[in-house]
Amino acid sequence: MNDDDDITKSKLKGDEPNIDPEAGYSKLFKNKFGSRRSNYKLSTLVILLITVVVISIIGILWYASIIDSKAVNQNPKTCTTESCLKSATLYAESMNRSVDPCEDFYQFACGRYGNRHRIPKTSHSNNRFYEVKTGMLMSISDFMEKEDFDDDPYALSQARLLYRSCTATDEMDAAGIQKMFQFLNQIGLPYLGFTQNNSSSGQTDSSTNISLILANVKKQLNIDYLFSTRVAPYSKNRTLNKITLSKPMDNNMFPVHKILRKINGMNSKKKRELLTPDYDNTENENKENKLNPNLKSYEKYFKGIWQEIVEHHSHISNSYHAPPELKLIKDVLMLINRLKEINDKVYESDLELPTFMTVNELQEYTDEITRNYSGKNGVTIDWKQYFTSLFADVEENIELDFENETIQIMSIEYFDDLFKLLVTIPESQMITAVWWDVVTTLIPYTTNQMRFLQDRYLYDIQGLENNPSRSIYCAEAVNKMMGMAVSRLLMDVELINSYQNMVIEMMKNIHFAFEKIVEELNWMDDETKKITLHKAKNMQMHVGFPEFIKDTVDIDNYYADFEVIENDYFGNVIRYVQNEFNNSLLAFRIPNDYSVFSWSANPLEVNAFNFIQANAIIIPAGILQFPFFGYDLNVLNYGSLGSILGHELTHGFDNSGHKYDLNGNENMWWTKQTIEEYNKRTNCFIEHYESYLVSRIEEKVNGKLTLDENIADNGGIREALWAYRKYVAKYGEEPKLPGLEEFTSEQLYFLAFANIWCESSTVASLSQSLLNEHSPNYIRVIAGLTNSEEFSQAWKCAKGTRMNPMKKKCKIW
């Protein structure tokens, strides 16, 4: 639903987002002092609480008496609870009332958000998701720094040990970079990325093999280089697993790896070309070196790391002590950017179902591309060697059938472009590029000087402080590696359980709304309506957290294979990623049992998910908090969390989801006529979203890339509103919001929806957002509400206004 996974791993020095630790996210969690405080502190707190409650009650009664005396016949009344006052403040401080809501509803709802919610020094943007996650990481850090208690599960003590190993930077510094050398050796990479000879000749050392190196990088670090390899459910039969190839995925454990890969995406194509000029043109190169600070920063970074490696390895020959030539550095950077360009490209096959080939057929396919470029001595992949090496050390003896067993290939056109590029790249250059990717990934686990060089480079390129607070960095790392244990420690289970019934009722109403919407569709035949509603009815929903984390034995067993060693953060991270990948390979031949849902999301995730092949929605505890949920006015809950739940429900029927039946299998389960009508309506969405220009960067949204998310946004807005109407029909009209009494309930609904997408962003962040499958937040609000007839009616927007244009509105659900 939200793509805010890159939240900076730092507590913000003097530039914090506005986080109220007593009024927001922390209500989900136990008091940071735990239940073992002294009786003195407890009794003092009780007295203070009683005093505050008494004063609050007197104040509320006094305020209510004034309201009643002035407007006895007003109905509904104004809500004066603490939650309503907080909600009103949240909305009022972000709104720009000078803007006509029928011309720009985002500016009306969020126009002043940036005045009080500044962009931190460690990020390119600030938004509601960022603020909640940052606050949660502060809580995790506080808990991790406390001592263990006797009755804590072993997994919790291991989580704290992992946290301490992460914060022990002096111990890392003392260990030097010898572990990195050992790791490079295990992967099959040279210590310095290339030999002195091949830097000029283009010949690779006979001991290197790119197919084996790529396999080793994947199984040792779980990093996708060139392409992603994973075991995933078979699209046509979810009970079986298949080897799956796709574009590289940035879902690994290493935060800096993702940051470094994103840097190029934050520049337009034109800027990337400036970063990698034609080095054969001497005049151009000299000019570029003077004008392009990015290239100079990259050169300084590369040479600095090079020098550190040379100084720390006594066995490196003196012939390697000279820093690499600028040409080689630019060759590596050029290759990185060329790979980035094809990875960012949106292919038609991105939107289609997988292609199936045997490994032998895949080899013929990629070899054919290579043969078309005769005379080139570039990179080729031996697929049998690659897959054999990948599965070689798996505990179970998994035999691969290269001749008969098919693999799933996503985005087949990407592999066309990839191998057309690889055949032009000398293997020695590719080895150097892979070496550089691995080294930069491992830098945070080495010395203080290596980390300083990397942080300085990131600051030079992005203008950001990378990691000013080690405690927040480590809190996020521990949460990622041991999220179930951290959730057990942090969550207020009773409070989450009390929320579950509220969320379940909301989701039932959203299902009811979806059913009514489907029944009214004029483009879907009755047969397809019936099976569509059957899939929706059978969609599971899981709220809060998996039950097993409450059981000490179960939570300890969950992490039984993960060995955490004190003062060995490098080793701890490596063991984690290797365990994760090895376990995924072990599942290759094991049938998937969907009768028992396997909760895979972190309960503290500030997000929501639809697992298409499980036909299930997960609502983690992390998003069940202010400002997404917990309002005393349900219209605000429906506008915020409700629209998110509707979004996730609609994903089951978006351009990808509708190709999977109720059992989660790829299937032509809709009639041909309905599919044709559906596709006509998707074209409307593509054209509609591509009509929006992001003015600060003069670029447009990619309507194909964002299609699934845009369909989900539009469906979620409508479904949650219809669901709220059902709530009102049952419980009656709700009170007004203080200070915002002029707005109707349905106007507040749209205000709540827009508010969760309020954001402050830099130009770099906007550029990066256009490479994402979600539209930029501003356009999510404007484009989504422009398509909403209910919005125009609620806000009385005349036909021809910007929010209610003359053109036909796009609508599927």
Q: Per-residue pLDDT tens for 177-234?
A: 988 988 898 898 887 765 444 443 333 444 468 999 999 999 999 989 999 999 999 9
Distance, CA of 22 to CA of 49 (rounded, Å) = 13
pLDDT at 254 > cutoff 50 = yes
Collapse the DSSP code of 716 into the 3-class scheme (helix H, G, I; strand E, B; otherwise coil) and give the result: helix
Domain 177-446 has CATH 1.10.1380.10: yes
Average pLDDT over residues 58-72: 38
DSSP code for 641: I
Of the listed ranges 105-114, 442-451, 716-725, the least confidently predicted one is: 442-451
First-to-last alpha carbon distance for the chain, in angstroms, is 17
Q: Which of 261, 5, 302 is nearest to 133 (CA)?
A: 5
Domain 19-116+492-546+599-813 has CATH 3.40.390.10: yes
DSSP code for 609: E
| Position 24 confidence tier, pLDDT thresholds 50, 70, 90 | very low
- Render pLDDT for 330-386 as a digit per residue (tens, 0 to 9): 888 888 889 988 988 878 766 778 999 999 999 999 999 888 776 567 889 999 999
| Position 293 confidence tier, pLDDT thresholds 50, 70, 90 | low
Do the Cβ atoms of 28 and 635 come closer than 8 Å?
A: no
Do the Cβ atoms of 221 and 435 come closer than 8 Å?
A: no
* Class of residue 392 by CB neighbours under 10 A (exposed 0-12, middle 13-18, buried 19+): exposed
What ranges do the domains of the chain cover? 19-116+492-546+599-813, 177-446
Q: If you average pLDDT over each of 188-202, 293-307, 382-396, 668-682, which comes out highest?
A: 668-682
**Angle at 336 (CA atoms; ends 331, 341), nearest 5 degrees:** 125
Q: What is the pLDDT of residue 596?
A: 79
pLDDT at 54 > cutoff 50 = no
Distance, CA of 52 to CA of 544 (rounded, Å) = 31
Amino acid at 130: Y
Q: If you average pLDDT over each of 109-123, 489-503, 626-640, which comes out highest?
A: 626-640
| Position 296 confidence tier, pLDDT thresholds 50, 70, 90 | confident
Do the Cβ atoms of 710 and 635 come closer than 8 Å?
A: no
Q: How many CB atoms lie within 10 A of CB 371?
A: 10
Amino acid at 494: E
Query: Across the chain, how many H-helices and E-strands are there?
Result: 34, 11
CA 692 to chain centre: 24
Question: What sign does the dihedral 620-625-627-628 (CA atoms) show?
Answer: positive
Average pLDDT over residues 457-481: 83
User: pTM, whole model, 2 decimals?
Assistant: 0.85
DSSP code for 543: E
CA 468 to chain centre: 22
Q: How many CB atoms lie within 10 A of CB 476?
A: 21
Q: What is the pLDDT of residue 140?
A: 95
Q: What is the pLDDT of residue 514?
A: 98
Q: What is the pLDDT of residue 13?
A: 29
- Strand extents, DSSP E, 466-562: 540-544
DSSP per-residue string spanning 275-325:
HS--TT-HHHHHHHHHH-HHHHHHHHHHHHHHHHHHHH-TTS-GGG-SPPP
Q: Which of 92, 98, 94 is nearest to 110 (CA)?
A: 94
